[in-house]
A and B are shown apart, each in its own frame.
Chain A
Amino acid sequence: MNRTLKVASLVAREVWLPVLLVAAWWWLSAGSTSLYWPALSEITDRFVDLWFFDHLLEDALPSVVRLVTGFGIGFAAAVVLGLVLGSVPALEDATRPLVEFMRALPSVALLPIMMLLLGTDDDMKVVTIAFVSTWPILLNTVEGVRSVDPVLHQVAAGYRLSTWHRIRYVVVPAALPQVFAGARVALSMSVVAMVLTEMVGSPGGLGYFVLDSQRTFDIVAMWTGLIVLGLIGYAANKAFGLVEARVLAWHRGYTKQKEDQR
């Protein structure tokens, strides 16, 4: 009972504003005859039609798969590379300008060259997503690895930890809060890259759906596509937050305790 109440209040706190806005939208758009601003009731009707389940399986699912694959590849590459660069300062100093440059490149600007090199299919889409997600994670991983307390390195040396155990139990956990901070940024950039690659690449996916609906003046469908995109972005962030809360459970308590001491 108590627990149910607690969950209910948490959910209420999360959704009260969206619910309010949707209600306002519904009310303001009711009976609209504008081509560009259709009534929300019309959008929801089409939404059910379109997305359960034809376009969910044909467009949304492949989009999500590309997003997860690209982001996963970028994440793994960034962490491995970051561990190396973070452990070898000379190498890091030498490559830093290059990494900063890559990080600063907007994903839109990459599209022409990616299409030239990889065509317009899944390869191009996934590689672009992986590429844009790599740099923010890489920079943060390097920072995290470098910020490992020197006392912990002394502990590791004094107790003769093997190289693998140093990485696994000292360096990686110490760097992980920073890695996740970078990954959060990378995730938003990945969603942008996903939409962009689908808009310019071969047909299919949410980006293509939205653009194609607009081109064919099916504005209502376009609106449903935007809603799906928003929901997917939101879900991706939530999922990420859950993983983070699990992996960094110690960190939350630790920082809170440090603050309380002050």
Chain B
Amino acid sequence: MKAQTTPDTDAPDTGAPGAGVTDPIMQVRGLGHSYGERQVLKDLDFEVGRGELMCVVGPSGVGKTTLLECLTGLRRPSEGQVLFDGKRIEAPPRGLAIVFQDYSRSLMPWLSVLDNVVLPLRSAGMAKAEREATAREALAEVGLSDFTGSYPWQLSGGMQQRVAIARALAYRPAVVVMDEPFASVDAQTRADLEDLLLRVREHLGITVLLVTHDIDEAVYLSDRVLALGGKPAGIRQLLTVDLPGPREQVTTKALPRFAELRSQVYRLIRHV
């Protein structure tokens, strides 16, 4: 399935609520969050289109995880609201799956790889045979068919994160939200995982919202990049990545346009 977004132009001020997409699956309205006295996020307005891959990029500590928690319903924002499929999010909705940053902590060490992927499907009320088949299919999708019986901690970091991705895919979500999913693996594994993500997203037609501090990664993966910056953090720019698809690690990153976009994002989030 093809990403069908109608992004707005490169207008620098995309804070306006009207800056929408034709078929939004997530709508963020006047979102702000404070921890006690300290305001971390302020006045965020944006929409994520169905089938889109959007990266949220910003330096460490800017509030990316906070934003993600507010978007998924894991945290109640102190201001504004988030709509998922038109409905206000109070708790994590069924159509949304999360891949956490720290794979070694987000998988249950007492469950096998297969059981980790199966667990959410149990609570979703899927029959035993079906949930196992679904989990195996998702594990095959990420290339882990041979490791279903292993414990996650017996696998390498990259493989563990693939288990976490398989768990998200098996859940059959409309949107996958990922918090710096590839931040703690080596460069080669990271490139492999990025391409894996692009492939399954193409294959399954899911919407992806990925948080990262890595500008290259954001530009390489995205249909649009949302640049966060400032204290409290706001949207610096919502920028359309007009790179041709399908993306490829070497050729895409060698394009002059890639370099342009990358320095544009860099300036946006650096400039305070």
**Residues in A lying within 8 Å of B, measured CB to CB:** 149, 151-152, 154-155, 157-162, 165, 169-170, 173-174, 176, 250-251, 253-254, 257-258
CB of B97 within 8 Å of the partner chain? yes
CB of B124 within 8 Å of the partner chain? yes
Asked if B108 and A170 sit within 8 Å, CB to CB, the answer is yes
For B97, the chain A residues whose CB sits under 8 A away are 158-159
**Distance in angstroms between the alpha carbons of A211 and B138 in the assembled complex:** 66
Q: How many whole Å from B96's CB to the nearest CB in chain A?
A: 8
Q: Hey, what's the 0/1 contact readout for B117-142 against A, CB within 8 Å counting as 1?
A: 00110111000000000000000000
4 other A-B residue contacts (CB within 8 Å) besides A254-B109, A258-B153: A158-B98, A160-B94, A174-B110, A176-B110
Q: Which residue of B lies closest to A248 (CB)?
A: B110
For A158, the chain B residues whose CB sits under 8 A away are 72, 74, 92, 96-98
Q: Can you list 11 A-B pairs, Cβ within 8 angstroms, ordered by A?
A: A152-B105, A154-B106, A157-B91, A158-B92, A158-B98, A159-B97, A159-B119, A169-B108, A169-B122, A251-B109, A257-B153
Q: Which residue of A lies closest to B122 (CB)?
A: A165
Q: How many whole Å from B101's CB to the nearest CB in chain A?
A: 9
**Distance in angstroms between the alpha carbons of A151 and B109 in the assembled complex:** 13
Asked if A151 and B105 sit within 8 Å, CB to CB, the answer is yes
For window 77-126 of chain B, which residues contact chain A by CB distance below 8 Å? Answer: 91-92, 94, 96-98, 100, 102, 105-106, 108-111, 119-120, 122-124
Asked if A155 and B106 sit within 8 Å, CB to CB, the answer is yes
**Distance in angstroms between the alpha carbons of A161 and B102 in the assembled complex:** 20
For A155, the chain B residues whose CB sits under 8 A away are 98, 100, 106
Of all A-B residue pairs in the complex, the 10 with the closest CB atoms, nearest first, are A159-B120, A173-B110, A158-B98, A151-B105, A162-B123, A250-B110, A161-B123, A158-B92, A254-B109, A165-B123
Asked if A154 and B153 sit within 8 Å, CB to CB, the answer is no
Asked if A250 and B151 sit within 8 Å, CB to CB, the answer is yes
**Distance in angstroms between the alpha carbons of A129 and B17 in the assembled complex:** 67
**Distance in angstroms between the alpha carbons of A170 and B120 in the assembled complex:** 12
Q: Which residue of A lies closest to B102 (CB)?
A: A151
Q: Hey, what's the 0/1 contact readout for B165-192 against A, CB within 8 Å counting as 1?
A: 0010001000000000000000000000
Asked if B110 and A165 sit within 8 Å, CB to CB, the answer is no
**Distance in angstroms between the alpha carbons of A110 and B68 in the assembled complex:** 55
**Distance in angstroms between the alpha carbons of A161 and B91 in the assembled complex:** 12
Q: How many whole Å from A91's CB to the nearest CB in chain B?
A: 24
For A149, the chain B residues whose CB sits under 8 A away are 105
CB of B6 within 8 Å of the partner chain? no
Of the residues B74, B108, B124, B153, contact of A157 by C-beta under 8 Å: B74
CB of B263 within 8 Å of the partner chain? no
Q: Hey, what's the 0/1 contact readout for B139-172 against A, CB within 8 Å counting as 1?
A: 0000000000001011000000000000100010
**Distance in angstroms between the alpha carbons of A256 and B57 in the assembled complex:** 37
For B100, the chain A residues whose CB sits under 8 A away are 151, 154-155
Asked if B105 and A253 sit within 8 Å, CB to CB, the answer is no
Q: Hey, what's the 0/1 contact readout for B202-237 against A, CB within 8 Å counting as 1?
A: 000000000000000000000000000000000000
For A174, the chain B residues whose CB sits under 8 A away are 110
Q: Which residue of A lies closest to B121 (CB)?
A: A159
**Distance in angstroms between the alpha carbons of A250 and B153 in the assembled complex:** 10
Q: Which residue of A lies closest to B94 (CB)?
A: A160
**Distance in angstroms between the alpha carbons of A151 and B120 in the assembled complex:** 15
Q: How many whole Å from A210's CB to the nearest CB in chain B?
A: 42
Q: How many whole Å from A82's CB to the nearest CB in chain B?
A: 18
Asked if A160 and B105 sit within 8 Å, CB to CB, the answer is no
For B102, the chain A residues whose CB sits under 8 A away are 151
For B110, the chain A residues whose CB sits under 8 A away are 173-174, 176, 250-251, 254
**Distance in angstroms between the alpha carbons of A258 and B123 in the assembled complex:** 30
Given contacts A173-B108, A251-B110, contact A160 B119 (CB under 8 A): no
A152, A159, A250, A258 interface centre (most CB from chain B within 10 Å): A159
